[in-house]
Amino acid sequence: MLPALLFMLAFIGYPIINNIILGFQNVDVMTFNNEVKEFVGIQNYIELFRDDILRAAIPNTLIFTVGSIIFQFVVGFALALFFNQNFTFSKPVRGLLMVAWMIPVTVTALMFKFMFGANGGIINEFLMNLHIISKPVEWLVYSGTAMWAIIIANIWIGIPFNMILITTGLSTIPGDIYESANIDGASRFEKFFFITLPMLKESIQAVLVLGFIYTFKVFDLVYVMTQGGPVNATEMLSTYSYKLSFTEFNFSKGASVANILFIILFVVSLFYLRLVREEEVM
């Protein structure tokens, strides 16, 4: 018990407190090694809320998260229902799809960066063959399309996650409910809306809240695909925090942005924990 706890206190507990304190200090590459750090109150936050990049990063992160979740959830749900039917390939193929979720995000980002490329990019080729576009689009170069490109890549990662969690939820619905509904002459539509959806309420809540948390803190995907560009169009809270700390070496500013990110996630986590508690798994 103790070693794991001490480890976590040292390398998570202490950093958390430290990061919050850093947000009220002025630590950069010049003052990094000073024993006494200058206390500046909420100066960092005042500056940040006047900062255009931060003011772009918050809506960007929200758009990215909500856009990803909606499609991941709908497609994942549809696939869960599809593979819940009884046929030879249902289980092996469902299992196979999990690969997309397991591979390192850096590699996924690389793959999609190539596919969205203007030169030799397969997505342009495909859309041109379908005559949807007439000439190659530089997806990652235009601010209007770059966000969509990273959302699509993230949807690809998230589909299996949503699918598996909904599948688990589906497996807990007792089959005889459907049988009695059949006897009562319920249609497919009615069975879905009056049995499946209400019975899945908890799974749906869990998958949406977890999906929000995991998506909102996105870093690798965006950092590899666009690095927040073009012109901050895909700048996220996490990537901006990283840049402030480790390319501008303004550690306090970076920590402050991370704190803002944390506060948003913390509120959502509280909401999730209340759900978990209601399910009484604690």
Q: Which residues ranging from 38 to 77 are in contact with other proteins (CB under 8 A)?
A: none
Q: Hey, CA dihedral for 173, 176, 180, 186, is it positive or negative?
A: positive
| Residue 273 binds other proteins (CB under 8 A) | yes
Least distance CB 282 / other proteins (angstroms): 6
Quick one: 46 or 122, whose CB is closer to other proteins?
A: 122
Q: Which residues in the 148-177 window bind other proteins by CB under 8 A? A: 156, 159, 161, 164-165, 168
CB of 150 closer than 8 Å to CB of 222: yes
Least distance CB 215 / other proteins (angstroms): 11
Quick one: 126 or 194, whose CB is closer to other proteins?
A: 126
Least distance CB 12 / other proteins (angstroms): 5
Among 48, 56, 69, 258, binds other proteins (CB under 8 A): 258
| Residue 84 binds other proteins (CB under 8 A) | no
Q: Is the link from the previous residue into 136 a cis peptide, with omega within 30 of 0?
A: no
Among 107, 177, 231, 267, binds other proteins (CB under 8 A): 107
CB of 195 closer than 8 Å to CB of 177: yes
The amino acid sitting at 240 is Y
Least distance CB 33 / other proteins (angstroms): 9
Distant-in-sequence, close-in-space partners of 236: CB < 8 Å, separation ≥ 6: 57, 60, 61, 64, 218, 219, 222, 228
> How many C-beta atoms lie closer than 10 Å to residue 245's C-beta?
21
Least distance CB 48 / other proteins (angstroms): 14
On the CB side of 24, how many CA atoms lie within 13 Å of its CA?
6
Least distance CB 30 / other proteins (angstroms): 15
Quick one: 64 or 216, whose CB is closer to other proteins?
A: 216
Least distance CB 67 / other proteins (angstroms): 19
Q: Which residues in the 14-33 window bind other proteins by CB under 8 A? A: 14-16, 18-19, 22, 32
| Residue 134 binds other proteins (CB under 8 A) | no
Quick one: 150 or 261, whose CB is closer to other proteins?
A: 261
| Residue 269 binds other proteins (CB under 8 A) | yes
Structure tokens at 179: 């049988």
Quick one: 194 or 198, whose CB is closer to other proteins?
A: 198
Least distance CB 76 / other proteins (angstroms): 11
Query: What DSSP string runs through 50-69?
Result: T-HHHHHHHHHHHHHHHHHH
Query: What DSSP string runs through 186-244?
Result: --HHHHIIIIIHHHTHHHHHHHHHHHHHHHHT--HHHHHHTTT-STTTT--HHHHHHHH
Q: What angle do CA 47, 53, 56 make, to 5 degrees?
A: 120
Site string for other proteins, 180-219 (x = CB under 8 A): -----------------------x--xx--x--x--xx-x
